[in-house]
Structure 1
Amino acid sequence: MRVGLIVDSACDLPYEFSRKHGLFILPVTAVIDGQTYVDEHDPVLTQEFYQSGLLQRGHHAETQAFTAEQIHDLFMEKIVTQYDLAICESVTRTRSLIFQNATEAMNSVMAHYHEPRKAAGREGRFSMRVIDSKQIFAGQGLLAAHTVRLIGQNLSKNALRHQVDSFTDKIYTCVIPRDLHYIRERARRRGDKSVSALVAFLGKALNITPIIFGQGAIGEPVAKTRDFNVAVEKVMNYAAARVEAGLLTPYVSLSCGLSWTEIEALPGLNNLRDVCERHGVELLLSQMGITSSIYVGPGSLCLSLAADPHHFKDFQ
């Protein structure tokens, strides 16, 4: 049984990891200053965006999910003809239409896959599952890495689906937004009032950098610092301590909306690398993708890991 894993462009993973394991990227459309781009996690295009400054505040940037029809066509052309089982993990349904559109596309595919599959010379039935990752960015990347690990264990279809479904609630994520004003403005354009103007103003006027922590896409501020680097070091120290205490999967996923030079200079990163290496944990370090960076703002950081129930303060 050949199993394919599909993730969307909101999923942050190192390009080399995605290529090595044959992940299929479901694109997201980015619209910046009226110009349309298709985010397929091309590392060259991503780097060009960072260098061009198009992701900086002052540019009007939004993301749009592929339609159900577009996703249907991709599935029929690229997935049905290549795999016997496909698992599509979408960014949390509370933040995007990708899950809804992919589910609609899947239902259509399951009713019409027979002829294209036969024409491609693939025998046997095809099955598919669309899963709400309940995650964002690095958290979605962590789930994908764990799913790759599960696929390697040759589980049955039902066992694989159950393992992935149950694992989503065990992922903890830290987000450090670099610019609260950016988030507030983007939320305002979407009609999302969850980030108040007052919080954005205080963050800008007093240079407050919050650390948002929680399970999946549901988090709350657990620390406020006056300096981005201080916040980063706190998150790195948390991750290192949590690795030493034990994880539920041997990965830590870290994505940063920064240049690679800036990423390598992050305080605490080398210590986290050392701790991960000592404990047999793979640090999945990536540059935040275009879709992720548009959502949370350039310069931000997202770190995810899977562990038993705990609080951020327990590992400070």
Structure 2
Amino acid sequence: MRIGLVVDSACDLPLDYLQRHDVTVLPITVRIGEAVLADHRDEEATLEFLHAHVAERGAEAETMPFTVQQIHDLFIERLVIDYDYVFCMTITKSRSPIYDNAQQASFAILNDYKPVRAAAGNNTPFALRVIDTQNLFAAQGITAVEAIRLRDAGEGAPKIRARLENIALHTHGYMIPPDLYYLRARARKKNDRSVSLLSATLGSALDIKPVLLGYRGETRPAAKIKGFDAAVERLFKHAAREVEKGLMTPTLCLSYGGELEHMRALPGYTHLIEVCKAHNIEVFESVMSLTGMVNVGKGAVVVAFAAERTPEFT
């Protein structure tokens, strides 16, 4: 069985890795004023757009995910021919309409695929499954890497489906946004009242940085720490301890809202990488998607892994 994999461009994994493993990316288009860029996970294009627009006006951005029709057309024109079963893994449905769009498109795809496959000389059934990763950014990468590993190991679609849905339930995505004022402005643009003016004012005045946890479709504060570097160091140490305790998958994902050299210079990074190497954990590092940066701000740090333990930040 030919199994295809699809992610949206908010999934923070390196583009060359996605291309090597034939993972299709659903782009999310970002508009800031007259400037428009379809995010295909091109890190160079993302950084150019970041420096030109996001730092100053990112809070005003509009993000436009693939529509139901665009998803339908992508499948009918290519994926139903190239594959027999496709897993489409999306950003959490609590933060984006992509999952609902893909789910809605799936009904029309399953109604329309037969003549297309027949014309390509294939009369066997086609199937697809939309997976809500229940997380954001680098944390989406945990599910995608596991899907690639299972497919390459020759596992069948039922086993892959069950495993991915279980991994999504146990993925922890931690993020530290550097600028609470930006985060509040962006939240207001999207009618999200989760960051109050008082919190933003006090946090900025006292240099308090929240460590936010994405888990099972919800985002909540896991800790509040004085100073960005101190918060990142504590987050990296927390991730290292979780690696030492044992993870569900041999994978840790990092993403950063800027050049990766800046992230690698942050305190605690080297220790985390050494611990991962000692425990045979593969580390994936990527520039945060343009969608991620316009929503949480330049310089944000995200760390993600899967573990069955209840997430407690220590």
TM-score norm. by structure 2 comes to 0.95
Cα distance between partner residues in 2 of 1:312 and 1:158: 32
Cα distance between partner residues in 2 of 1:175 and 1:216: 15
Q: Which residue in the other structure is 1:129 paired with?
A: 129
Cα distance between partner residues in 1 of 2:312 and 2:186: 27
Identity of aligned residues (%): 38
1:247-297 Cα deviation digits (max 9, x unpaired): 110000111102133122121111111111111100111110101111211
CA contact (8 A) 1:168 1:216 kept: yes
Cα distance between partner residues in 2 of 1:254 and 1:231: 15
Q: Which residue in the other structure is 2:301 paired with?
A: 301
Cα distance between partner residues in 2 of 1:120 and 1:42: 31
2:55 is aligned with what amino acid?
Q
Stretch of structure 1 that moved more, 28-37 or 282-291: 28-37
Q: Which residue in the other structure is 1:56 paired with?
A: 55
Cα distance between partner residues in 1 of 2:2 and 2:304: 28
Q: Which residue in the other structure is 1:191 paired with?
A: 191
Q: Which residue in the other structure is 1:260 paired with?
A: 260
1:160 aligned counterpart, secondary structure: helix
1:208 and 2:219 aligned: no
The within-5 A match list for 1:279-290 is 279-290=279-290
Stretch of structure 1 that moved more, 104-113 or 202-211: 202-211
2:104 aligned counterpart, secondary structure: helix
Cα distance between partner residues in 2 of 1:220 and 1:101: 25
Q: Which residue in the other structure is 2:143 paired with?
A: 143
1:118 and 2:126 aligned: no
1:56 aligned counterpart, secondary structure: helix
- Size of the aligned set, in residue pairs, is 313
Cα distance between partner residues in 2 of 1:87 and 1:311: 27
Cα distance between partner residues in 1 of 2:157 and 2:264: 40
Q: Which residue in the other structure is 2:235 paired with?
A: 235
Structure 1 residue 123: Cα displacement: 4.5
Stretch of structure 1 that moved more, 145-154 or 181-190: 145-154
Cα distance between partner residues in 1 of 2:144 and 2:10: 12
Cα distance between partner residues in 1 of 2:133 and 2:302: 16
Are residues 22 and 300 of structure 1, via their aligned partners in 2, closer, same or farther at CA, if it must alter by over 3 Å? Answer: same
Unaligned runs of 5+ in 2: none
Stretch of structure 1 that moved more, 75-84 or 210-219: 210-219
Structure 1 residue 168: Cα displacement: 0.9
1:68-103 Cα deviation digits (max 9, x unpaired): 111111111221111110000111111111011111
Structure 1 residue 235: Cα displacement: 0.8
Cα distance between partner residues in 2 of 1:121 and 1:268: 55
1:3-27 Cα deviation digits (max 9, x unpaired): 0110001111122221221110011
The within-5 A match list for 1:66-215 is 66-215=66-215
Cα distance between partner residues in 1 of 2:192 and 2:51: 29
CA contact (8 A) 2:114 2:123 kept: no
TM-score norm. by structure 1 comes to 0.94
CA contact (8 A) 1:11 1:141 kept: yes
1:157-202 Cα deviation digits (max 9, x unpaired): 2222122112211111211011111111111122111111111111
CA contact (8 A) 2:254 2:303 kept: yes
CA contact (8 A) 1:139 1:216 kept: no
CA contact (8 A) 1:213 1:312 kept: no
Unaligned runs of 5+ in 1: none
1:56 is aligned with what amino acid?
A
Structure 1 residue 155: Cα displacement: 2.7
2:272 aligned counterpart, secondary structure: helix
Cα distance between partner residues in 2 of 1:275 and 1:20: 27
Stretch of structure 1 that moved more, 63-72 or 87-96: 63-72
